[in-house]
Structure 1
Amino acid sequence: MRHYPPSKEQAALFPPFAGLELSAIVVPQTAAELAVARADLLAQRFVGFDTESKPVFRVGEVPSGPHVVQLATMQRGYIFQLSNAAACATVGELLSNQDLVKVGFGLQSDRADIRRNLGVELAAVFDLDVIFRRHGYSATLGAKSAVALILRQRFSKSKRVSTSNWASAKLQDNQLLYAANDAYAAIQIFNALKLSTAELRQYGLWRDPA
């Protein structure tokens, strides 16, 4: 039987999504900052994952993204700018790590984009839409609808920010909030689902204790 998330009208009545504040968002640039980010993320089993790309406006122009990769824990969001060679190396290691599961929405195109831009294979990635499809929801439920359905919160996303210049050397505060909270919403929803050991095994996400 087909199920449906709350409508736009219903979601509008929910409290706003309790996302990350700017104080919890990090854009690691230096070797020391990248080392701290790497250590924090590798201490996790599951993290939220998403990417952002500079939009293409001209006919025939080839997309060059992603320009930003964001990974989030339950406490912090990390924004990696791929114009930074050191950040590329760190995020490439994280994205190809088999033990760090990257969860998100609509990740179908990311594998080829990551391979093209970073030269690594995206590993241990899990699209949350898989769970919702198995429970009778749309194949592309997405973060906004999932936040409304699972968290009963209103996740507002600005079209203007989503189509902004993600290749900029200095990202604006609204870009940082947008990017970090896309990834943060994914890890929030994943944890809220409270998957059992059997379900984690079913989705290939279970790791036997060392």
Structure 2
Amino acid sequence: MVRRKAPTKDESALLPPFAALPDQAIHVPSSDAEFEQAREALIQASVLGFDTESKPLFQVGAKDTGPHVVQFATVDAAWLLQTHHAAAQAITREILGNPRILKVGFGLDNDRHQLQGRLQVEMQNVLDLDRVFKRHGFGASTGVRAAIAMVLGQSLRKSKKVTTSNWANPRLSDSQRRYAANDAHAAAMVHAHLPAWEALQPPVQAQRPPRPPRPAVDAGNSISERRM
């Protein structure tokens, strides 16, 4: 299969900005009533964009206590569950373990490892979108930015300052809320538009099986055959 190249960061930046969710569609529950509302909305979804955020580790040997935020999103709204709340952990376990709800995201192996370690949850019905793009000839880690550029023709900009901010803070800043919501919402949007995008892609060529090794030639037989 010929390796295809995803748009670079500079190429993506030339596109119109990603149509992010409005602030009123980003929910960060903290009360019992808000957690119940979040659960009711999430449990009814058939597909959810999914991602996590963790406090960065700057010291060698520091213990990783993440993830500190778990994000779920539909194409219309996002819910940011801060895992210092017991209710957030319970909802996360329920949603990730629900085989009916498809959870979609990018580079989910690390998220899976962290969540299994902290919440002891076995994730069911999960789709890593990086693997979808790999089937179409792209690299193993296409990522959300390049996927948004290819599928939606938009530019998703990610702030390194926010990426490395303290996600364990009890109160998330506005920039953290928008950043976390974008990651999950972008995955939901890519998945929603994948069928139309895939219909326009060239046929996926199956890799040729390796050729069987040639049988070894017996030098002695070859010499005698030439003498006959």
Query: TM over 0.5: same fold?
Result: yes
In structure 2, the partner of 1:143 is 144
| CA-to-aligned-CA distance 1:29-56 (integer Å, 9 cap, x gap) | 2222112111111211111000000000
Question: How is 1:175-194 mapped onto 2 (pairs within 5 angstroms)?
Answer: 175-194=176-195
Deviation of residue 143 (structure 1)? 0.2
Deviation of residue 9 (structure 1)? 3.0
Deviation of residue 23 (structure 1)? 1.2
Segments of 4+ moved more than 4 angstroms? none
Larger Rg: 2
Equivalent residue pairs, number:
196
Going from structure 1 to structure 2, the CA distance change for 1:7 and 1:109 (only over 3 Å counts) comes to closer
AA aligned to 1:22 is D
| CA-to-aligned-CA distance 1:142-179 (integer Å, 9 cap, x gap) | 00010111111110000000110000000000000000
In structure 1, the partner of 2:210 is none
In structure 1, the partner of 2:45 is 44
Structure 1: segments with no counterpart, 5+ residues: 196-210
Question: How is 1:160-179 mapped onto 2 (pairs within 5 angstroms)?
Answer: 160-179=161-180
Q: SS at 1:50's partner residue?
A: strand
Deviation of residue 6 (structure 1)? 2.1
- Is residue 48–residue 73 contact of structure 2 (8 Å, CA) maintained in 1? yes
| CA-to-aligned-CA distance 1:77-102 (integer Å, 9 cap, x gap) | 00000001111111211111111111
Taking the aligned partners of 2:187 and 2:50, their CA distance within structure 1 comes to 7
Q: Does 1:65 align with 2:66?
A: yes
AA aligned to 1:25 is I
In structure 1, the partner of 2:113 is 112
Taking the aligned partners of 1:96 and 1:30, their CA distance within structure 2 comes to 23
- Is residue 54–residue 167 contact of structure 2 (8 Å, CA) maintained in 1? yes
In structure 2, the partner of 1:5 is 6
Q: TM-score if structure 1 supplies the norm length? A: 0.90
Taking the aligned partners of 1:192 and 1:158, their CA distance within structure 2 comes to 25
Q: Percent identity?
A: 47
Q: SS at 1:16's partner residue?
A: coil
Taking the aligned partners of 1:192 and 1:75, their CA distance within structure 2 comes to 14
**Superposition RMSD in Å:** 1.4
Q: TM-score if structure 2 supplies the norm length? A: 0.83
Q: SS at 1:109's partner residue?
A: helix
Deviation of residue 133 (structure 1)? 0.4
- Is residue 89–residue 119 contact of structure 2 (8 Å, CA) maintained in 1? yes
Taking the aligned partners of 2:10 and 2:16, their CA distance within structure 1 comes to 13
Structure 2: segments with no counterpart, 5+ residues: 197-228
- Is residue 13–residue 157 contact of structure 2 (8 Å, CA) maintained in 1? no
Taking the aligned partners of 1:9 and 1:70, their CA distance within structure 2 comes to 27
